[in-house]
Amino acid sequence: MSNERLRQLAEAGVSIWLDDLSRERLNSGNLQELITDKHVVGVTTNPTIFAGALAKGEAYDAQVRELAARGASVEDAVREITVADVQQACDVFSGTWETSGGVDGRVSLEVDPGLARDTEGTVAQALDLWKAVDRPNLLVKIPATEAGLPAITRALAEGVSVNVTLIFSVERYRAVMGAYLDGLEQAAANGHPLAGIASVASFFVSRVDTEIDKRLEAIGAETDSAEALGLRGKAGVANSRLAYAAYEEVFSSDRWKALEAKGARRQRPLWASTGVKNPDYSDTLYVTELVVADTVNTMPEKTLLAFGDHGEVHGDRVTGTAGEAQEVFDALERVGVDLTDVFLVLEDEGVDKFEKSWTELGETVTGQLEGAR
């Protein structure tokens, strides 16, 4: 049965993507059920998700035994396992990709997080993954680090569709959009049809509140500031609304219109990290308050099911809210939150978390290969 609340969300123009993938989910038909019943039209993955999937269940046992039998290295095993899952997911979403004209039905696969500060290594792996998966509805995930920005441009210039991840600040988001336009211009010069290139920009939400709330509580405890404590839970949504205002500005520019005339697609904002971390907040906060057409919301299954159970769509909650959102950020600075430091910490932590998950993934595969041998 189609879920009515999620149907309303989709009809409001929000593409519902699942932030999870596993062999078990694929083989059991669960992913197809989410497409049919929950209006899911895409999937995002990351090293944490793959590490969790591999650590439990028996779905990977046969492939691990085959890899062990031919003496595959841990690096090759990780690559083959993740590529196989993403290929299968791309095939499951092929119908969605076709009926949406290539807008949705997308599956994301991330480059090795250890390359986040390595432009050349990121470009090489992005091209390799694009060829290895060999599906038109793939998105290669590249982090929006300073080294990642030129890699994004160069991958796009080669016709690779990209999901730019780990974006926390509006300033960095503007640089990401600039890298996208640069990439499209170079792709056109290289003879790639722009209509075949897709991209989303993953703007992280809940982690912003987690970091800023921690600082607001420290300020409130030290200064007895009611204003500081009253700002908790407001930064993540405000930050995203400011990002959307920047998106509207860039994608109404003459530079963009020239590319659009050549068939280019907009780089849609994707609201990432939308699972609520603080139990005091509504578990659908980062879905309900970020409803706006032509955006993506990628949700962990827990958030997806919560919205399907009791989420509410109150129409467009983003367009025209930049002034109100800026007031939140002005207040944050007024009470003493160092926003520049916040975004630096979040980016460093984001890269570090994914690197640790990648290491955990390698260790899990190492153990499984040794056991199979």
> 131 an active-site residue?
no
**Long-range contacts of residues 29-35, Cβ cutoff 8 Å, at least 24 apart:** 31/89, 31/92, 32/92, 34/304, 35/92, 35/93, 35/96
Give helix 170-189 / helix 148-157 axis angle, nearest 10°.
Answer: 30
Q: Which residue's structure tokens are 């035994």? A: 65
> Strands 138-143 and 162-167: what pairing?
parallel
Alpha-helical regions (H) of the chain: 4-11, 23-27, 30-38, 47-55, 61-69, 74-92, 94-99, 119-133, 148-157, 170-189, 206-223, 226-230, 235-250, 254-260, 285-288, 301-310, 322-335, 339-372
Measured distance between the N- and C-terminal CA atoms of the chain, rounded to whole angstroms: 45
Q: Which two tokens stand for residue 258?
A: 């020239």
Cβ–Cβ < 8 Å for 21, 49: yes
Instruction: Choose the catalytic residue: 56, 141, 257, 356.
Output: 141
Which CA distances in Å does 116 have to 44, 144, 147, 267?
18, 8, 7, 21
Q: Could you give the residue numbers annotated as active site?
A: 141
